[in-house]
Amino acid sequence: MNKSELIEALAQEINIPHREAAAITNTIINTMTEALANGESIEIRGFGSFVIKKYDSYEGRNPKTGKKIKVKPKKLPFFKVGKDLREQVNANKK
Amino acid sequence: MNSSNLTRRELAEAIAERLGFSQSNCADIVDCVFDSMKKTLLEGEPIKIVHFGTFSVRSKSPRNGRNPRTGEAITIKKRRTVGFRPSRQLREEINR
Protein backbone atom coordinates (compact mmCIF):
# COMPACT_ATOMS: atom_id res chain seq x y z
CA MET A 1 0.00 0.00 0.00
CA ASN A 2 1.32 3.43 -0.83
CA LYS A 3 0.05 6.88 0.06
CA SER A 4 -2.38 7.18 -2.86
CA GLU A 5 -3.90 3.80 -2.00
CA LEU A 6 -4.28 4.92 1.61
CA ILE A 7 -6.00 8.10 0.39
CA GLU A 8 -8.27 6.04 -1.87
CA ALA A 9 -9.18 3.69 0.99
CA LEU A 10 -10.10 6.66 3.19
CA ALA A 11 -12.16 8.34 0.43
CA GLN A 12 -14.17 5.15 -0.07
CA GLU A 13 -14.53 4.29 3.59
CA ILE A 14 -16.06 7.59 4.67
CA ASN A 15 -17.42 8.59 1.28
CA ILE A 16 -15.61 11.87 0.71
CA PRO A 17 -13.98 13.30 -2.43
CA HIS A 18 -10.47 12.11 -3.22
CA ARG A 19 -9.15 15.67 -2.85
CA GLU A 20 -10.39 15.92 0.75
CA ALA A 21 -9.04 12.48 1.64
CA ALA A 22 -5.67 13.58 0.25
CA ALA A 23 -5.70 16.78 2.33
CA ILE A 24 -6.55 14.78 5.47
CA THR A 25 -3.85 12.17 4.87
CA ASN A 26 -1.24 14.83 4.17
CA THR A 27 -2.24 16.74 7.30
CA ILE A 28 -1.78 13.61 9.40
CA ILE A 29 1.62 12.80 7.91
CA ASN A 30 2.84 16.39 8.08
CA THR A 31 1.68 16.78 11.68
CA MET A 32 3.50 13.58 12.64
CA THR A 33 6.65 14.68 10.80
CA GLU A 34 6.58 18.11 12.51
CA ALA A 35 6.16 16.49 15.92
CA LEU A 36 9.15 14.18 15.37
CA ALA A 37 11.21 17.07 13.97
CA ASN A 38 10.47 18.97 17.21
CA GLY A 39 11.71 16.01 19.21
CA GLU A 40 8.20 15.08 20.37
CA SER A 41 7.03 11.51 20.60
CA ILE A 42 3.86 10.14 19.01
CA GLU A 43 1.49 7.66 20.57
CA ILE A 44 -1.35 6.19 18.53
CA ARG A 45 -3.22 3.84 20.85
CA GLY A 46 -3.71 0.43 19.25
CA PHE A 47 -1.30 1.16 16.41
CA GLY A 48 2.05 2.11 17.84
CA SER A 49 4.32 4.84 19.09
CA PHE A 50 7.33 6.76 17.85
CA VAL A 51 10.16 8.11 19.95
CA ILE A 52 13.27 10.01 18.94
CA LYS A 53 16.53 8.49 20.08
CA LYS A 54 19.58 10.73 20.33
CA TYR A 55 23.03 9.42 19.53
CA ASP A 56 26.24 11.17 20.53
CA SER A 57 29.13 11.37 18.14
CA TYR A 58 31.14 8.15 18.03
CA GLU A 59 34.12 6.54 16.27
CA GLY A 60 32.86 4.15 13.66
CA ARG A 61 34.32 2.35 10.71
CA ASN A 62 33.48 2.39 7.08
CA PRO A 63 32.23 -1.18 6.69
CA LYS A 64 33.61 -1.38 3.15
CA THR A 65 37.14 -0.07 3.70
CA GLY A 66 37.53 -0.61 7.44
CA LYS A 67 38.73 2.98 7.74
CA LYS A 68 38.02 4.81 11.02
CA ILE A 69 35.50 7.62 10.69
CA LYS A 70 33.86 9.99 13.10
CA VAL A 71 30.08 9.59 13.14
CA LYS A 72 28.35 12.88 13.89
CA PRO A 73 25.68 13.08 16.62
CA LYS A 74 22.30 12.19 15.20
CA LYS A 75 18.68 11.63 16.05
CA LEU A 76 16.64 8.72 14.73
CA PRO A 77 12.95 7.91 15.00
CA PHE A 78 12.00 4.54 16.47
CA PHE A 79 8.64 2.86 16.05
CA LYS A 80 7.25 0.46 18.61
CA VAL A 81 4.23 -1.53 17.56
CA GLY A 82 1.16 -1.11 19.79
CA LYS A 83 -0.23 -3.96 21.87
CA ASP A 84 -3.42 -4.43 19.82
CA LEU A 85 -1.64 -4.52 16.48
CA ARG A 86 1.14 -6.73 17.84
CA GLU A 87 -1.37 -9.25 19.14
CA GLN A 88 -3.31 -9.14 15.90
CA VAL A 89 -0.32 -9.74 13.61
CA ASN A 90 0.54 -12.76 15.71
CA ALA A 91 -3.01 -14.11 15.91
CA ASN A 92 -3.60 -13.79 12.18
CA LYS A 93 -1.42 -16.47 10.61
CA LYS A 94 1.17 -18.56 12.33
CA MET B 1 14.19 18.40 24.01
CA ASN B 2 10.45 18.61 23.93
CA SER B 3 8.76 15.88 25.93
CA SER B 4 5.20 16.39 24.72
CA ASN B 5 3.34 13.61 23.06
CA LEU B 6 1.29 13.64 19.86
CA THR B 7 -1.82 11.47 19.98
CA ARG B 8 -4.94 10.83 17.91
CA ARG B 9 -6.51 13.83 19.60
CA GLU B 10 -3.87 16.28 18.35
CA LEU B 11 -4.11 14.77 14.88
CA ALA B 12 -7.89 15.28 14.90
CA GLU B 13 -7.38 18.88 16.08
CA ALA B 14 -4.87 19.53 13.31
CA ILE B 15 -7.34 18.31 10.69
CA ALA B 16 -10.17 20.37 12.22
CA GLU B 17 -8.02 23.49 12.30
CA ARG B 18 -6.42 23.18 8.89
CA LEU B 19 -9.36 21.80 6.94
CA GLY B 20 -12.37 23.09 8.88
CA PHE B 21 -14.09 19.78 9.64
CA SER B 22 -15.93 19.31 12.94
CA GLN B 23 -13.88 17.95 15.82
CA SER B 24 -15.98 14.81 16.30
CA ASN B 25 -15.79 13.92 12.62
CA CYS B 26 -12.06 14.37 12.73
CA ALA B 27 -11.67 11.85 15.53
CA ASP B 28 -13.49 9.27 13.40
CA ILE B 29 -11.43 10.20 10.35
CA VAL B 30 -8.15 9.70 12.20
CA ASP B 31 -9.37 6.30 13.46
CA CYS B 32 -10.35 5.37 9.94
CA VAL B 33 -6.87 6.16 8.56
CA PHE B 34 -5.10 4.05 11.19
CA ASP B 35 -7.67 1.26 10.80
CA SER B 36 -6.93 1.08 7.06
CA MET B 37 -3.23 0.91 7.82
CA LYS B 38 -3.77 -1.84 10.38
CA LYS B 39 -5.91 -3.81 7.95
CA THR B 40 -3.21 -3.60 5.30
CA LEU B 41 -0.47 -4.74 7.68
CA LEU B 42 -2.65 -7.62 8.91
CA GLU B 43 -2.85 -8.80 5.32
CA GLY B 44 0.93 -8.90 5.44
CA GLU B 45 1.29 -6.00 3.05
CA PRO B 46 3.80 -3.20 3.74
CA ILE B 47 2.79 0.47 3.68
CA LYS B 48 5.05 2.95 1.94
CA ILE B 49 4.42 6.59 2.74
CA VAL B 50 6.65 8.83 0.63
CA HIS B 51 8.71 11.35 2.64
CA PHE B 52 7.80 9.50 5.83
CA GLY B 53 8.74 5.84 5.82
CA THR B 54 7.73 2.23 5.38
CA PHE B 55 5.82 0.02 7.80
CA SER B 56 6.16 -3.72 7.33
CA VAL B 57 5.40 -6.95 9.12
CA ARG B 58 8.60 -8.72 10.10
CA SER B 59 9.05 -12.27 11.28
CA LYS B 60 11.38 -12.77 14.20
CA SER B 61 13.11 -16.07 14.75
CA PRO B 62 12.99 -17.72 18.15
CA ARG B 63 15.87 -16.79 20.45
CA ASN B 64 16.99 -17.31 24.01
CA GLY B 65 16.38 -14.52 26.42
CA ARG B 66 16.05 -13.90 30.11
CA ASN B 67 13.32 -12.66 32.30
CA PRO B 68 14.83 -9.28 33.23
CA ARG B 69 13.28 -9.39 36.68
CA THR B 70 14.21 -12.90 37.78
CA GLY B 71 17.17 -13.59 35.48
CA GLU B 72 15.56 -16.88 34.55
CA ALA B 73 16.45 -18.20 31.07
CA ILE B 74 13.49 -18.43 28.73
CA THR B 75 12.95 -19.12 25.04
CA ILE B 76 11.38 -16.28 23.13
CA LYS B 77 9.12 -17.89 20.55
CA LYS B 78 9.03 -17.17 16.86
CA ARG B 79 6.80 -14.16 16.41
CA ARG B 80 5.74 -11.38 14.12
CA THR B 81 6.02 -7.69 14.70
CA VAL B 82 5.57 -4.45 12.80
CA GLY B 83 8.68 -2.50 11.93
CA PHE B 84 9.18 0.99 10.58
CA ARG B 85 11.97 2.26 8.39
CA PRO B 86 12.11 6.05 8.23
CA SER B 87 12.61 7.63 4.82
CA ARG B 88 15.67 9.73 4.11
CA GLN B 89 13.52 12.89 4.08
CA LEU B 90 12.14 12.14 7.55
CA ARG B 91 15.63 11.49 8.94
CA GLU B 92 16.86 14.75 7.43
CA GLU B 93 13.87 16.64 8.80
CA ILE B 94 14.58 15.29 12.30
CA ASN B 95 18.28 16.20 12.17
CA ARG B 96 17.82 19.65 10.67
Domain boundaries defined on chain A: 1-40, 41-93
Answer whether CATH 4.10.520.10 is correct for domain A41-93: yes
- Chain B residues whose CB is inside 8 A of the A55 CB are none
The DSSP code sequence of B48-86 is EETTTEEEEEEEE--EEEE-TTT--EEEEPPEEEEEEEE
Is A10 in the B-facing interface, judged by CB distances under 8 Å? yes
Spell out a b/e string for B48-84, using b for 16 or more CB atoms within 10 Å of the CB, else e. bbeebbebbbeeeeeeeeeeeeeeeeeeeeeebbbbb
Largest Cα–Cα distance in chain A?
Answer: 57
Instruction: Inspect the interface and report whether the beta carbons of B32 and A10 lie closer than 8 Å.
Output: yes
Which of B2, B53, B91 has the CB atom closest to A38's CB atom?
B2
> What global pTM score does this model have?
0.88
Rounded to whole angstroms, how far apart are CA atoms B93 and B96?
Answer: 5
Residues in chain A, how many? Answer: 94
The H or E element containing residue A41 is strand A41-44
User: pLDDT by residue (tens digit) across B5-59?
Assistant: 999 999 999 999 999 888 889 999 999 999 999 999 999 999 999 999 999 999 9
The tens place of each residue's pLDDT in chain A, 94 residues long, gives 999 999 999 999 999 999 999 999 999 999 999 999 999 999 999 999 999 999 999 999 988 998 999 999 999 999 999 999 999 999 855 4
Is A15 in the B-facing interface, judged by CB distances under 8 Å? no
**Strand, helix or coil at A46?**
coil
Domain boundaries defined on chain B: 1-43, 44-96
**Would you tell me how many other CB atoms lie within 10 Å of the CB of residue A50?**
21
Alpha-carbon distances of B17 from A37, B21, B31, rounded to whole Å = 20, 8, 17
Instruction: Inspect the interface and report whether the beta carbons of A13 and B36 lie closer than 8 Å.
Output: yes
Residue type, B22: S
Rounded to whole angstroms, how far apart are CA atoms B10 and B8?
Answer: 6
CB A54 within 8 A of CB A73: yes
Instruction: Inspect the interface and report whether the beta carbons of A47 and B33 lie closer than 8 Å.
Output: no
**CATH number attached to the domain at B44-96:** 4.10.520.10
Q: At what angle do helices B23-42 and A83-92 cross, to 10 degrees?
A: 30
Is A45 in the B-facing interface, judged by CB distances under 8 Å? yes
Q: ipTM of this model?
A: 0.87
Per-residue model confidence (pLDDT) at position B35: 96
